[in-house]
């Protein structure tokens, strides 16, 4: 239970832009923002000391990989909107295939 609570806190405090994405707007990187229930790719090994325990980071990426329908509405607070990020989903997932399976963006690890 603690990793899920910590994951939620990391998602909310990790990143944000000044505006929340419009719920009626078309998704930017994928044609689907649905729940993904398949197997997730492994996270690459971190290249630096993580600011949170690896279990928390893994739980956050797991949530991000499976629930883009939620994260598309969570704003990002880290300033990454300048690089094209719209919502918190963008900090963890760089793209999705036709089934919704994510390709990780390592931005969210830090």
For residue 22, pLDDT beyond 60: no
| Residue 19 near residue 85, CB atoms below 8 Å | no
The pLDDT tens digits for 24-66 are: 444 445 445 788 999 999 998 888 899 999 999 999 999 999 9
Range of the domain at 8: 2-18+29-109
Q: Which residue has the higher pLDDT, 11 or 37?
A: 37
Residues in the chain: 110
| Residue 35 near residue 97, CB atoms below 8 Å | no
Q: Is residue 24 included in any domain, yes or no?
A: no
Q: How many domains does the chain have?
A: 1
For residue 13, pLDDT beyond 70: no
Report DSSP state, residue 32. Answer: -
Q: Is residue 23 included in any domain, yes or no?
A: no
Instruction: Show the CA angle centred on residue 9, arms to residues 8 and 14, nearest 5°.
Output: 105
| Residue 64 near residue 18, CB atoms below 8 Å | no
């Amino acid at each position: 239970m603690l990793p899920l609570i910590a994951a939620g806190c990391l998602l909310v405090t990790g990143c944000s832009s000044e505006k929340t994405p419009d719920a009626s707007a078309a998704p930017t990187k994928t044609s689907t923002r649905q729940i993904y229930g398949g197997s997730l790719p492994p996270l690459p090994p971190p290249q630096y000391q993580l600011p949170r325990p690896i279990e928390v980071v893994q739980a956050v990426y797991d949530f991000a990989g499976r629930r883009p329908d939620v994260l598309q509405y969570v704003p990002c607070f880290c300033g990454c909107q300048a690089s094209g990020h719209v919502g918190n989903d963008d900090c963890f997932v760089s793209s999705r295939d036709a089934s919704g399976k994510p390709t990780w963006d390592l931005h969210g690890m830090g």
